[in-house]
Structure 1
């Protein structure tokens, strides 16, 4: 026995030493010297306390080559996932489970569009943005060839292929798709319209309602830009994506008239699905004539958000409707043609081949009309709705993207006019570009190419493809787009809500949120005139939802309190709830459970279980809830499965009864034990984390956060009947900058700046983020070099 114990002890020691050796082998180094062929001069890279690289180069080409190398070093596997989503090659890398999502992306046309955009990019010739992109690609490939590959490749038995400019355009395509709310919403709205009729739609907010909050426009005369004329099944499919979707955002810029310093105060927090690593990679790049601190997507050399020493740019989702669906009329004499009016147009087809790991390649056909690709084969909700072909008309794939040029111009802009001109290059997806500068200017531009539709067209219901009047007409000029330049109010803000009418009086349709976040932002900003970096943090971290308070009070007004005497305490707590989501409160725990069952009892009989779950995943649920509860003519309250006519009060009371019973079983009989923190979980999932026990290695968990439906600090979850709410998205960074002290700006990421599991920067910001704290965005060269513990020198090599 002693001999056996000795042998086992030796084997255990060998195992432990092997594990430690593997970890040391995988642990990235942030210091030392490396040779990179192609560099003109030596580049110094200083990594600060949180692993943010500060790159000092002597030329633009050297700077972007170094950025490409460092970015790949920290985020190569994330880059891999994003380029494979956009190129429709996930199954080749991860296996047959991803075949359907590849087919979906090929049908939608993103891989094809990436090729077309790349060809147009090359056709521009030797532009500054191409030279910078080429240098970045060179740096990425030098790491792929010579660097220590992330452990994910070892686990999957794969190696990365070289990175290309076409891959870069595939990543832009992935980013653009994440904004395509139409695919989730329009089939469901069409189903409601056809099967239930207008009376049911009247109780929902399919379009923006008058009581919602609008972003005010303020059109300047001084800025001129060129007029550019010219359900549940799907949700389940998209959940297979190994990268997060961009979902919303807040941004506001306050002029010096409302700040303590008299300088512009800039704020941005983009809302993106939680993931490990989180989406943004921070990097600070310096070379003669250029200084920029940016938030980058993996594989993209230019910051989508960031600031120089004289200007700052942020973004939110515009949420404009840029995707229409046309139900086609086949030509009776030729099934390979559609009719528009009396004229016949061909249905074309192309063959796509998808390579599948461990399997034979799969070839499939994509059929297209003049409106776009036919989506029935890859969107089951559409296939279930009609046997007629349904084509997707999507602005993004109608012309090559100029996103890389626009981002380069924005990063390098020296004037507000240059940023406006760059914003005009963005045709899709729709973005709210937020701007502030050292000269005191503040601005917001809704950047997108907006189609002119006929008045008869309902942008969220399938159009009759054969109707001549339903065809897209032309485009509004960019000068018509919603915007606000140095408004008298002293601030600009966007929170994914509806912009006010354009210069010509048009309410452009979209998938806008109701404006509750915008209203809190606007009311708070205008309440004082001495804002600074510290005081504005309370707004960015606020978890109050005033409309939820109104909903709760209304629901209480619909019940007979005498029937719930045993639960008087929790109902009293809910009655005085102020809408915050503090972790020790019980009111949110009851509110969300009660709201779920109220909506379920009202809607599931009409929509079915899957249809109801699909409804909960659309923007309509948040935008419609207040109207749904209070609309006196709401026909959803009646249960169509019974012979009696149910009332609103009966449904709400029954939902409360069910909720109280479930919460008692879940958390105990005393409502004092129904703390909100017990109902909230938060985890940042890694693409390999779905496979146990890899979740224990790669996923990042934190303490509970103040999860909420639509507060400024939006930490979103899916409403559900289980009563456990997994926070699935939130601010992907929180940035605050006072132009009185550009070098004193602050930010925080949800996890960390590195995507390498064995890096100390993989999750070193998670507690700061969960607790609402910030850390500096360093730009002062002396401070960076003095405090940096890690310096890497990249030298020219053969």
Structure 2
């Protein structure tokens, strides 16, 4: 008996040693010395306790080459997924199940646009941003050629091809598409308008309502420039994309007149789909004349968010409407032409090849008109709505992107005017650029190219492509864009809500949120003049929404309380709700299920299951709910196909009855056991985590977090009847910086800085994030080097 046990022990020990060697072999290099081709001089990379690289170089090219290398060793597989989404090559890498997504992106035009943008980028000549980007590319490719690839490639039996400028622009295209809310919303709004009519439309917030909160504007006469130099449904289709979608964000910048230190206080938390790894990669670059701490997308050399010692930039989604759909009229005499007025225009056609892993390649035809590509075949909702060609007119693909130039210039800006000039280069997607500096300036610019629409065009209903009055009429100048520079209020803030009327008199349409977050932020800031880091932390992680309690109280007033006498205690608690989403509370558990059933009972008979699901996933649901409930003339309450006319009170009462029954079955008969933490699931999914048992290896699951809709600390989920709410997105980082102490700035990521499963920094921030805590963003060289947990020295290869 002893001998087999000895053999088994030996095998176990051998297996453990082999596993440890495998992990070590596939882990990123955080120390030692490496020879890197192309370097001019030695570069020192110090990794802090959270694996954030602090890169010290003697010149710009070496700094970006080093960044490319360390970024690749931590995030190469994430880069792979993002470039393949944007380039329409997922099927080549992951198989035929992703073919529909590739066809969708090719039809939309992102791969074609990436080629055009790359050609324009390279044709500029030897610009600083081109040289920096090419150095970064060389660093990424150095790792691809000589580094130990992430284990995902081994599991898939694949190897990465070299990274290119075109890939970089494909990633920018992916980022731009994730902001394109029009594809989710406009087909649904068009269907409601055509099938149900204006009475049904009037109970929804298709456009911003008077009760919603708008961002005040403050146009400057001049800027202070004294800073020292330095196939299935679309929802199902998008659900299969193996990278997160960028969804929303908060940012506010407080002037020194309202801070304890007397200096600008900068805050930013971008809201992005949960994923493992999370989206942002933090890196700190130092070389003569440049010092910058940035948050980077995989494959992008410049920080979309970040700060120097003199200025800080952040972003939120503008949510402007930059995509219109034209229903075309075919020429009766020639089916390959469309008509605009009395003039005919050709329908174009091109063919693209999509490679499919393990199978023959697919030749794919893309047809389009002067308005854009025809989308019927790749968006089911459009194909089901009309047999006429429907084209997508999307600002992003109308001209090459200058995103790389803009971001580089913002990173390297010497003053507020240079940031404004860089922001003006961004044509799409629409971004709110937030700004603060050491001189006391605060600013917000809505960066986008805003189209002038014809008077007959409703921005969310398919336009008549044959109407000459419906054609795009040009662009508003950037100087008319929403902005606020050093306002008297002492703060600027954006939270994806509607900007006020522009100085040209236009109330520009968009997919804006109702402003609950913005209002909460604004009220808090205006109530104090001694803001500091600690009070900013408390505000940034707040989970209070003021509208939900009003909805609950309104619904309670419409039911017969005697019908729910056995549940009077829980209804009384709901009546007194302050809108907080504490995990030990049962109120959100009751409220969200009740709201779901109320909307389902009211709307599914008109919209059908797919249409109702689509409605729940648009911005419209969030900003329509209050108006929907309180509209006395709301036609949605009456069920189609019944002899009686159902009332609002009947629907809301029936929904509450279902809610209480289902929660009793789900969590037990005692409402005190219906705690919110039991209903919330928080998981950061990896692209391979949809396959068992890989989910246990790659996905990062955390303890329950206070999920909510439209609180400042927005941890969003999809309403459903299941009664379990999976958090799908939230702050992708939380940054706070006081210009009185730049070295003391803080942040936190949802998972960790590395996307390598065998790195100790794969998920080392998940508990901090879940608990609403922070960690430092180090910039002090002495502190960084004294506290470094690893030093990687990169030397020029001979």
TM-score of the superposed pair, with normalisation by structure 2: 0.98
Alignment-derived partner of residue 602 in structure 1? 602
Say yes or no: does 1:450 pair with 2:450: yes
- Output one character per residue of 1:423-465: Cα deviation in whole Å (capped at 9) or x when no partner: 0000000000000000000000000000001222100000000
Say yes or no: does 1:526 pair with 2:546: no
Q: Secondary structure at the match of 1:167?
A: helix
CA contact (8 A) 1:224 1:479 kept: no
Bigger mean CA offset, 750-759 vs 12-21: 12-21
CA contact (8 A) 1:82 1:171 kept: yes
Q: Secondary structure at the match of 1:535?
A: helix
- Output one character per residue of 1:323-363: Cα deviation in whole Å (capped at 9) or x when no partner: 00000000011000000000000001000110000110011
Shift of 1:18: 2.6
Relative to structure 1, the CA distance from residue 508 to residue 224 in structure 2 (aligned partners, 3 Å threshold; closer, same or farther) is: farther
Q: How does 1:182-193 map to 2 (within 5 A)?
A: 182-193=182-193
CA contact (8 A) 1:682 1:704 kept: yes
Q: Secondary structure at the match of 2:535?
A: coil
CA contact (8 A) 1:232 1:613 kept: no
Alignment-derived partner of residue 110 in structure 1? 110
Q: Matches of 2:376 and 2:456 in 1, distance apart?
A: 25
- Output one character per residue of 1:683-736: Cα deviation in whole Å (capped at 9) or x when no partner: 000000001000000000111000001100000000000010000100000000
Alignment-derived partner of residue 211 in structure 1? 211
Q: Matches of 1:390 and 1:223 in 2, distance apart?
A: 44
Q: Matches of 1:2 and 1:261 in 2, distance apart?
A: 72
Alignment-derived partner of residue 781 in structure 1? 781
Q: Matches of 2:446 and 2:29 in 1, distance apart?
A: 42
- Output one character per residue of 1:361-380: Cα deviation in whole Å (capped at 9) or x when no partner: 01110001000000001000
CA contact (8 A) 2:455 2:469 kept: no
* Runs of 5+ unmatched residues, structure 2: 226-230
Alignment-derived partner of residue 46 in structure 1? 46
Q: Matches of 2:684 and 2:305 in 1, distance apart?
A: 22
Q: Secondary structure at the match of 1:632?
A: coil
Q: Matches of 1:707 and 1:574 in 2, distance apart?
A: 17
Shift of 1:203: 0.2
Q: Matches of 1:334 and 1:232 in 2, distance apart?
A: 31
Shift of 1:127: 0.3
Q: Matches of 1:720 and 1:216 in 2, distance apart?
A: 35
Shift of 1:268: 0.1
Q: Matches of 1:680 and 1:668 in 2, distance apart?
A: 17
CA contact (8 A) 1:118 1:169 kept: yes
Q: Matches of 1:451 and 1:21 in 2, distance apart?
A: 57
Alignment-derived partner of residue 370 in structure 1? 370
Shift of 1:540: 0.3
Alignment-derived partner of residue 350 in structure 2? 350
CA contact (8 A) 1:261 1:740 kept: yes
Q: How does 1:549-560 map to 2 (within 5 A)?
A: 549-560=549-560
Alignment-derived partner of residue 498 in structure 1? 498
Q: Matches of 1:557 and 1:251 in 2, distance apart?
A: 36
Q: Matches of 2:608 and 2:164 in 1, distance apart?
A: 46
- Output one character per residue of 1:607-654: Cα deviation in whole Å (capped at 9) or x when no partner: 001100110000000000000000011000001121100000000000
Say yes or no: does 1:705 pair with 2:710: no
Residues paired across the two proteins, number: 793
Alignment-derived partner of residue 591 in structure 2? 591
Say yes or no: does 1:613 pair with 2:600: no
Alignment-derived partner of residue 308 in structure 1? 308
CA contact (8 A) 1:106 1:112 kept: yes
Q: Matches of 1:174 and 1:598 in 2, distance apart?
A: 36
Alignment-derived partner of residue 142 in structure 2? 142
Alignment-derived partner of residue 252 in structure 1? 252
Q: Matches of 2:413 and 2:19 in 1, distance apart?
A: 49
Q: Matches of 2:331 and 2:780 in 1, distance apart?
A: 68
Q: How does 1:626-665 map to 2 (within 5 A)?
A: 626-665=626-665
Alignment-derived partner of residue 86 in structure 1? 86
Shift of 1:12: 3.8
Q: Secondary structure at the match of 1:188?
A: helix
Q: Secondary structure at the match of 2:625?
A: helix
Shift of 1:23: 1.6
Alignment-derived partner of residue 392 in structure 2? 392
Shift of 1:7: 5.0
Say yes or no: does 1:122 pair with 2:115: no
Alignment-derived partner of residue 579 in structure 1? 579
Q: Matches of 1:236 and 1:483 in 2, distance apart?
A: 36
* Runs of 5+ unmatched residues, structure 1: 226-230
Alignment-derived partner of residue 228 in structure 1? none
- Output one character per residue of 1:49-80: Cα deviation in whole Å (capped at 9) or x when no partner: 10000000000001000000110011000000
Q: Matches of 1:152 and 1:482 in 2, distance apart?
A: 44
Shift of 1:232: 8.1
Q: Matches of 1:779 and 1:29 in 2, distance apart?
A: 22
Q: Matches of 1:671 and 1:644 in 2, distance apart?
A: 34
Q: Matches of 1:290 and 1:33 in 2, distance apart?
A: 24
Q: Matches of 1:419 and 1:281 in 2, distance apart?
A: 22
Alignment-derived partner of residue 172 in structure 1? 172
Q: How does 1:59-74 map to 2 (within 5 A)?
A: 59-74=59-74
Q: Matches of 2:624 and 2:74 in 1, distance apart?
A: 42
Q: Secondary structure at the match of 1:368?
A: strand
Shift of 1:17: 3.1
Q: Secondary structure at the match of 2:682?
A: strand
Relative to structure 1, the CA distance from residue 415 to residue 46 in structure 2 (aligned partners, 3 Å threshold; closer, same or farther) is: same
- Output one character per residue of 1:718-777: Cα deviation in whole Å (capped at 9) or x when no partner: 000001000010000000000000111000000000000000000000000000000000
Shift of 1:28: 2.3
Q: Matches of 2:3 and 2:639 in 1, distance apart?
A: 74
Alignment-derived partner of residue 562 in structure 2? 562
Q: Matches of 1:8 and 1:491 in 2, distance apart?
A: 67
Q: Matches of 2:174 and 2:517 in 1, distance apart?
A: 27
CA contact (8 A) 2:224 2:416 kept: no
Alignment-derived partner of residue 228 in structure 2? none
Shift of 1:26: 1.6
CA contact (8 A) 1:214 1:515 kept: yes
Q: Matches of 1:161 and 1:783 in 2, distance apart?
A: 39
Alignment-derived partner of residue 545 in structure 2? 545
CA contact (8 A) 1:232 1:610 kept: no
Alignment-derived partner of residue 722 in structure 1? 722
Shift of 1:4: 5.4
Q: Matches of 1:42 and 1:633 in 2, distance apart?
A: 72
Q: Matches of 1:28 and 1:132 in 2, distance apart?
A: 23
CA contact (8 A) 1:375 1:382 kept: yes
